[in-house]
A and B are shown apart, each in its own frame.
Chain A
Amino acid sequence: DSGVTQTPKHLITATGQRVTLRCSPRSGDLSVYWYQQSLDQGLQFLIQYYNGEERAKGNILERFSAQQFPDLHSELNLSSLELGDSALYFCASSLRGQPIETQYFGPGTRLLVL
Chain B
Amino acid sequence: QVTLRESGPALVKPTQTLTLTCTVSGFSLGATGMCVSWIRQPPGKALEWLARIDWDDDKYYSSLRTRLAISKDTSRSQVVLTMTHLDPVDTGTYYCARMQRVYDGSHVRYYFDFWGQGTLVTVSS
Partners in one complex: no
The interface of chain B, by Cβ under 8 A from chain A, is: none
